[in-house]
Structure 1
Amino acid sequence: MTEASNSVLVLKGWQYKQADTTEWKPARKDVSATQVQADLLANGEIPDPFINRNACDIQWVGDKDWEYKLQFTVPVEGIKKSNQVLVFEGLDTFATVKLNGAEILTADNMFVKYTVDVTDKVKLNKSNELSIYFKSASLEARRLEKIHGSGYCFNGETARLQARKAQYGWGWDWGDSVMTCGPWRPVKLVSYDAGLSDVYVKVDVADTKKAKIDIQSTVEAASVVKGLSVETKVLDPNGAVVDIPASAKKVAVTGSLVSSKFDISSPALWYPRGTGEQSLYTFETSLYDAHHKLLQVNTKKVGLRHVELVQEPFEDEEGTSFFFKVNGIPVYCSGSNWIPGHSIPCLFTEPDYKKWLQLAIDGNQNMIRVWGGGYYEEDIFYSECDRLGIMVWQDFMFACGIYPTYPEFIANVCTEVEVALHRLRNHCCLALLAGNNEDYCVAESFNLEWNREDKSGDYSKTNFSARTTYEVTLPKICEKLQPDVPYHPGSPWGGNGTSDKTVGDIHQWNVWHGSQEKYQNWYKLGGRFVSEFGMEALPSLKSYRDCITDSSELYPQSEYVDFHNKAEGFERRLALYVIENIKVQGMDLENWIYATQLMQAECLSYAYKCWRRRWYGDHKRYTGGAIVWQLNDCMPVASWAIVDYYGRPKLSFYAVKRESTAIGLGMYRNEIVPKIEGVNVVAENDGPHDYSNHDYTVDIWGVNASLKDTPATLLVDVYEVESGKKINSLKPQEVVLKANQTSEFVKALEIPNDKKIVVYSRVVVDKKPIATAADWPQPLKYLKFSDRKVKFELFDGYIKLTANKPVKGVEITIKNRDVFLQDNGFDIFPTDEIIVKGDIKKTDDVSIRYYQM
């Protein structure tokens, strides 16, 4: 229920014990939600699983049953109410609940909110005891697997497919197994005579000049309560009262569902970051009794917007588009994937959510994909995305597996999805609902029956019967409860299989996984929308020192450093990409970290720039977005994250930020094969080359995410890398960065082949660069730098840097404390004066390094 404050008791004071023991111990102090590892850690019963190899020493916890209990007394105002209801916001996962010794609930889904009427069981003038018995999820999942049969999966064990529990808890290629249990979300006692159990602000702004509003309020009341009414008040984004018809202001309650319909003319619409304002209306819904006594108030902040997924055919290319329009405006999506922020979810707090989502904004991201192996995130996550203008691609909680379809399982899933949508559907940030993560990939990998021409909707006779879940069951629920958000059967999904680059979205893992392509080939590995791709890198040295206490283990090949990397075959793959591209200055940990982070930054930069180029305007939006795997980590590890577990950005975070600016420049180097009958032919680049032995050309283009044309001047300088001398400058060119698309500026600029050349371009407005780009010869390891001098001056609030010659990959490190910098890992050219802002003090201990320093 959505409760009024004077009728809600949030239960606290939990105690816990291992089920086969007798001693009760206090859970974490003054918390309403907890999990057993958090309590064991707080009481010193287990070591910190994130330190050294301690994760190995806590695995026994997940194979035990655990019990929780607490005592509570109904508050005075609650005693006067007719109904007493216990609301369990989340139980993790297989739980039996008793109140005063009587069983009131059996739960088997971590994602479901359970509501239990305990009016006839609760003691109104005495202490009550609530107890919960949690079975081991790992053991219970294995028991269910023996009954229903084994499936197929990537990561973890196949038994996990039987449990409606966050799948990453079984371990993934970026996290250890941490098999949690406990009341992971709050438990509340709600006392009421009549109340609002749900309020849905249904919005229709297909016509952006008028918003049609239907506030659907679900009322629950005791039979003796008569004469109820629902009143509505609306405030615009500036706090002014919106005038609505009297018939909508007050509606008599004649059934369980009350509808208040009205229009808002010339509405202030909600837009994603970069395309408009994040306007939010306040809808205040109040329930009154027959004497006009206020029983309950429900307040929601809701953005008015229309979102659509555009999949239209092209005239000049195969397949269909895959991009989003919000309020009729095409939006190129530049963002990242989101995994749970902690291996013990109850320890990830509201300030943590705010900090991490602000990092996404600071990185110029406008979309986050909530990955299907975690959980439906906390309300604060979606509220912050509403406020910040971040679109959310929401997976349903299925990941990398072939899930069962026996009736009880599907009924459980249906309840879960309905509960999730009732909670999330008022959030304007939702842009897409996707059926699963990579389940279709698993079906392909294990050669299961997937006839793409079969649209019957009944796949129960095949060994991939879960298709029915994704293609029939889930979309029906979404159409009923969330009709304003597009549905997509899975990710990746579309066309002729999951790797079809012409239809739907793709996960492009042929860099790092698969065929292990060279990252310079991203341009030919793209698709209509790339919803996963990535490259691994190590976290900072500070982060290793935070999670490894033995200083003798702080070297690249140590047991503890290796333990904090969960990716299969990472030693070979990481070495392959580093050695193929980067000159490593030393094999101490600090130098190896820099090499991996510079390589990751270069890799992701290539991907973003190559794919964003293909946003050419109406009917030519060949690529609709790029969502990197991944923004964050759930524990301290080396992974594909662009920000490590401790919140310290890697150099790749800044590379992605630079490639995702509203106004940007892109450059790409094309090799020319030897002349054939006097004609130069541009060849597809198949990876790093020593370009000094080949002719080549450079393309230069501009990208503009804003909705206005931007006139500017294009400046292009050509430098010889080793000497650092500028050998040429193109004549300044007046250009226009066309609104919301890519504009080609220079096609096939010929570059001399007798030396290794770097081309530096920038677009300038009023003599100030608004975007820059540099194209360096590949691979970087072949380059030689001499006589480089980088000067920096430290001021309160910023650092100023200059260089005498072109410099690659400048990294600023503030040694004495953690400071978020607005830029890092950048290049400097002699024409530049770089200003890096941040909470910097003149007294900070600052060092810089750069490539081949």
Structure 2
Amino acid sequence: MAFSKHPLDSGWEFRQKDDDSANSWLPARRIPSEVHLDLLANGKIPDPFLDLNELSVRWIADKDWVYRTQFAQPKKPAASEPTVTDLVFEGLDTFATVSLNGTEILKSDNMFLSHRVEVSKLLQDQNFLEITFDSARMRGLQLVEEHSHEHTFYVRQTEVSRIPVRKAQYHWGWDWGPILTTAGPWRPIYLEQYTVRVADVWAQINVNSDLKSCSGLLFAKVDGGYTASRKATLSIALDGETVFEKTCDVDENGLAQTEFNLSQPKLWYPHGYGTQTRYALMATVSSYDKKSKLIGFRRTELIQEKDDYGKSFYFRINGIDVFAGGSCWIPADSFVSQISGQRYHDWMKLMIEGNQIMARVWGGGIYEAESMIDACDELGILVWHDFQFACGSYPTYPSYLESIEQEAREAVRRYRMHPSLLIWAGSNEDYQVQERYQLDYNYEDKDPQSWLRSSFPARYTYEYLLPKIVKEEDPFALYHATSPWGDGKPTADPTVGDIHQWNIWHGAMNRYQECSELGGRFVSEFGMEAYPHLETIRNAITSPRQQHPGSMAMDFRNKAIDHERRMATYVTENFLVKYDLASYTHLTQVVQAETMHMAYKTWRRDWGREGSRKCGGVLVWQLNDCWPTMSWAVVDYHLVKKPAYYAISRALEPVAVGISTPYRDWTSGHADPRGLTTFEKFDLWIASSKVHPVNLDLTVRIISIRTGEDVQQPMRHYAITALPNSTTEVLRHHAVASSEKEASKIHQPYNITQDEPIIIHAVIKAEGKVLASDTCWPQPLKYLDFSDRGVTFKSTSPTQLTISVSRPVKGFVIEETRATKLSDNGFDIIPGEDRVINVEGGGIDDLKYTYVGSPESSVHVKLSA
């Protein structure tokens, strides 16, 4: 009998368990689903994403829920061979009891596990399937009480009941997301019939250091009776052509394996460094079943070597050092069952369009859908995946450890053939909890059993159990104990491992102008909040009376601790503030974009050169939102990009130019504000991710903000060579000079008074084509006069807009919508250098814009005659 699959995705109904009234059963949506979505579809609750509705649906988390369906037994095969029928649950959220025709067949307490139950002897002509979901919150509280004598459940973010529950932790709410604690069949349910089934196929691959060959082992796991055959054929093919094939025996445990060796393999590279070649790995068992996976060959290394700055932390792929510029990723929805494969692909494609090549899957969400990881494979995005622990002190009692071992093995097995999955990390910020509550931690103690007896027993999970599982299931995978982490040193130590740099926004609330002093060996989190575009705000907050900064609905929607206090500080430190919604939205967006601009360009500068990699990567917190809100996301829930997204994209251009000046304080009690609007000296560098040298022409202009005129002749440097995969320092402590001749000598600063504020603007070209530019503005921007900028527009086609200015413009932002797609946004505009953007999904005349100092907060584009 050939393998067959029968989805059980329709005909479901559900009810609240303690409601036994006659009309309590309601039709459910197609499975997968979650109870909030089903209640919403039946008109029983308001949309939790709108207004204050989240508060009116929190009761759902404290109730038990029942789902049920009926289905006919699949047609029995005519073949004489014995067949097996399995009932498969890819994900049940979370405390689930399953019965089939009145017989209990499964109990589950882990959202992240899938389940396969043989039901061949239980099936009837008509079958009744029922699943009861207990309240995860109430069960969590019970578990805390049951185990309080052996463990102290410390927690950051919302309540302690989440810690002992193996469920997406953000369902309890986070500082960017609502409290929507779900229940239900969140991943598909189906029947499978077979005589023989290929349960899995995988490989253990080692690419040689010379990259000219790869070798290893191929495996297949086979289930069933194998009455006709105990052999499996394992093969590797590229573009339909078989490059390796062998038929081998299946042993008594259902395992088939063979060695393989390939010469001159085509390798998989991250985007921008080579092709994303994928081979087809297949296991076939006669005519019964076959399973194939797309795999990639690549050699991966995490380079941690002692150097002048401490100990390095960066990735080397196929012998190439790779600067990991990208984003942290949270679940793209509070209700993950409604994230389609296409939506995942759109998100990942957006990363590549923004020059981002690493996504860090954060440890308080889910083990992400394979459709997301598939998209990363296809597009060349490196994946850092946390195991699902975040911001807490997790227990280690035996049943809990058993559950997380099953969870971790299943996760590693699911993703081990994906070339994009670069590294696993044990948790998110749990060692910061250890530090905060002064829990036991002696790095020199290497006895895992003693860790279990300490007040921080989760060390056993992160430093013993999880790395052991990763090694056993995927021997060539990279593992990092947690994030942030560095050889047992304090988690804020910038000389080793990765850091979460939250002294911008949180902590000391450093000014974003101080970014160059706040880097580390790998910055795996940092961020700045901003509002989304106006359409998103107005659709989520429906009352016009609430659509203003500081309203009840606006404050409620922002979940960050001290959000308005911190946001207002960063806005008022840097800008003259208007408090209408459009103006304030724009200013928060410019603050966020400026933070991204300064952080990514200065920390990328620290990429340095081979053998001297001071910073190995930068990942913003965060790329995305799980609902429409204001947060650290650089793209909102609806995939509408904030200006910060474009700032990151420009800073991560394959070849980029950067300018910086020394930080000068203007907020301390006796700071002298005179001279803050001009410069005496600056640095200029070129960052390149190209693996070959690039010949460039550089032009540096010093421009009056008041008049828009160059205050000295532009400096021109021809035939500069940007070193491969390095930072090339072009100018250091370069004086702003009064003439081109003096500029070349780097001395005698140009005597520009406070009344003549300037910008420094640099452009790099290759073969006459502009590759990148950067503009350095005096800080803070609020001390500058932005009146009368002379902005004009013209268009040579319905999809192209050209913007010109007479005087320098800061933070030009077009209001984006879900329908509008722009090639660039949130940019500065320099006299003599028109800005050309492509517009899709709307007319140019429909666009609204503003900029720093604009007399109007939102005005329509008007084309010149």
**TM-score range for the pair, normalised by the shorter chain length:** over 0.9
Aligned to 2:98: 97
Aligned to 1:298: 291
Answering whether residue 236 of structure 2 is matched by residue 243 of structure 1, we say no
From 379, 396, 401, give the equivalent of 1:410: 401
- Structure 1 residues 836, 4: closer, same or farther in 2, change over 3 A? farther
The 8 Å contact of residues 391 and 431 in structure 1, kept in 2 or not, is answered as: yes
The 8 Å contact of residues 3 and 194 in structure 2, kept in 1 or not, is answered as: no
How far 1:723 moved relative to its partner? 2.3
The 8 Å contact of residues 156 and 171 in structure 1, kept in 2 or not, is answered as: yes
Answering whether residue 186 of structure 2 is matched by residue 184 of structure 1, we say yes
How far 1:842 moved relative to its partner? 4.8
Answering whether residue 340 of structure 2 is matched by residue 349 of structure 1, we say yes
TM-superposition CA deviations, 1:98-157 (whole Å, max 9, x none): 01000011100000011112122122xx11111111000000000011001141111021
TM-superposition CA deviations, 1:481-530 (whole Å, max 9, x none): 12222100000011421011001000000011111111111111110000
Aligned to 2:495: 502
- Which range is displaced more, 734-743 or 528-537? 734-743
The 8 Å contact of residues 704 and 738 in structure 1, kept in 2 or not, is answered as: yes
Q: Distance in 1 between matches of 2:484 and 2:2?
A: 42
How far 1:250 moved relative to its partner? 1.9
SS in 2 for 1:92: coil
Answering whether residue 268 of structure 2 is matched by residue 270 of structure 1, we say yes
Note the 1:805-816 alignment, pairs <5 A.
805-813=807-815
The 8 Å contact of residues 3 and 195 in structure 2, kept in 1 or not, is answered as: no
Q: Distance in 2 between matches of 1:43 and 1:530?
A: 45
The 8 Å contact of residues 308 and 485 in structure 1, kept in 2 or not, is answered as: no
Q: Distance in 2 between matches of 1:632 and 1:591?
A: 23
- Structure 1 residues 7, 577: closer, same or farther in 2, change over 3 A? closer
Answering whether residue 482 of structure 2 is matched by residue 490 of structure 1, we say yes
Give the AA of the match of 2:442. Answer: N
- Which range is displaced more, 205-214 or 332-341? 205-214
Give the AA of the match of 2:509. Answer: Q
Aligned to 1:309: 302
Q: Distance in 2 between matches of 1:128 and 1:792?
A: 67
Aligned to 1:681: none
Q: Distance in 1 between matches of 2:646 and 2:585?
A: 16
The 8 Å contact of residues 237 and 243 in structure 2, kept in 1 or not, is answered as: no
Answering whether residue 526 of structure 2 is matched by residue 533 of structure 1, we say yes
SS in 1 for 2:96: strand
Structure 1 residues without counterparts, runs of 5 or longer: 289-293, 674-683
How far 1:604 moved relative to its partner? 1.4
The 8 Å contact of residues 358 and 383 in structure 2, kept in 1 or not, is answered as: yes
The 8 Å contact of residues 90 and 113 in structure 1, kept in 2 or not, is answered as: yes
The 8 Å contact of residues 519 and 687 in structure 1, kept in 2 or not, is answered as: no
Note the 1:706-785 alignment, pairs <5 A.
706-734=690-718, 735-751=720-736, 752=750, 753-754=752-753, 755-785=756-786
Q: Distance in 1 between matches of 2:15 and 2:319?
A: 56
From 631, 635, 638, give the equivalent of 1:643: 635
The 8 Å contact of residues 534 and 640 in structure 1, kept in 2 or not, is answered as: yes
Note the 1:485-634 alignment, pairs <5 A.
485-495=477-487, 496-584=489-577, 586-634=578-626
SS in 2 for 1:744: strand
Aligned to 2:792: 791
SS in 1 for 2:220: strand
Aligned to 2:433: 442
- Which range is displaced more, 200-209 or 439-448? 200-209
- Structure 1 residues 241, 688: closer, same or farther in 2, change over 3 A? farther
- Structure 1 residues 110, 540: closer, same or farther in 2, change over 3 A? same
TM-superposition CA deviations, 1:777-822 (whole Å, max 9, x none): 001111112431122224233222222221111112367x621212
Q: Distance in 1 between matches of 2:27 and 2:524?
A: 40
Aligned to 1:65: 64
The 8 Å contact of residues 204 and 211 in structure 1, kept in 2 or not, is answered as: yes
Q: Distance in 2 between matches of 1:844 and 1:688?
A: 45
> Normalising by the residue count of structure 2, what TM-score does the alignment of the two structures yield?
0.92
Answering whether residue 680 of structure 2 is matched by residue 696 of structure 1, we say yes
Q: Distance in 2 between matches of 1:24 and 1:72?
A: 21
The 8 Å contact of residues 214 and 265 in structure 2, kept in 1 or not, is answered as: yes
Q: Distance in 2 between matches of 1:461 and 1:690?
A: 60
- Which range is displaced more, 206-215 or 620-629? 206-215
Give the AA of the match of 1:243. Answer: V
Q: Distance in 2 between matches of 1:672 and 1:448?
A: 39
Answering whether residue 126 of structure 2 is matched by residue 127 of structure 1, we say yes
Give the AA of the match of 2:243. Answer: D
How far 1:284 moved relative to its partner? 2.5
SS in 1 for 2:321: strand
TM-superposition CA deviations, 1:286-341 (whole Å, max 9, x none): 111xxxxx111212111111111110111x33x21000011111100000000011
Q: Distance in 2 between matches of 1:625 and 1:770?
A: 22
From 457, 462, 472, give the equivalent of 1:480: 472
The 8 Å contact of residues 667 and 699 in structure 1, kept in 2 or not, is answered as: yes
Q: Distance in 2 between matches of 1:296 and 1:371?
A: 36
Aligned to 2:860: none
Note the 1:249-260 alignment, pairs <5 A.
249-255=246-252, 256-260=254-258
- Structure 1 residues 331, 688: closer, same or farther in 2, change over 3 A? farther
Q: Distance in 1 between matches of 2:350 and 2:463?
A: 35
Q: Distance in 2 between matches of 1:268 and 1:658?
A: 31
Q: Distance in 2 between matches of 1:805 and 1:114?
A: 65
Answering whether residue 213 of structure 2 is matched by residue 210 of structure 1, we say yes
Structure 2 residues without counterparts, runs of 5 or longer: 737-749, 855-865
Q: Distance in 1 between matches of 2:372 and 2:533?
A: 26
The 8 Å contact of residues 3 and 192 in structure 2, kept in 1 or not, is answered as: no
The 8 Å contact of residues 520 and 687 in structure 1, kept in 2 or not, is answered as: no
How far 1:647 moved relative to its partner? 1.4
SS in 2 for 1:282: strand
From 218, 223, 232, give the equivalent of 1:220: 223
Q: Distance in 2 between matches of 1:541 and 1:220?
A: 55
Aligned residues: 822
How far 1:5 moved relative to its partner? 5.9
Q: Distance in 2 between matches of 1:440 and 1:140?
A: 26
Aligned to 1:107: 108
How far 1:176 moved relative to its partner? 1.1
TM-superposition CA deviations, 1:381-428 (whole Å, max 9, x none): 100000010000000000000000111100110000011111111111
How far 1:456 moved relative to its partner? 2.6
TM-superposition CA deviations, 1:705-729 (whole Å, max 9, x none): 1111100111000012122221023
Q: Distance in 2 between matches of 1:63 and 1:672?
A: 53
Q: Distance in 2 between matches of 1:717 and 1:655?
A: 21
The 8 Å contact of residues 78 and 192 in structure 1, kept in 2 or not, is answered as: no
Q: Distance in 2 between matches of 1:838 and 1:706?
A: 29
Q: Distance in 1 between matches of 2:672 and 2:571?
A: 12
The 8 Å contact of residues 68 and 130 in structure 2, kept in 1 or not, is answered as: yes
Give the AA of the match of 1:220. Answer: D
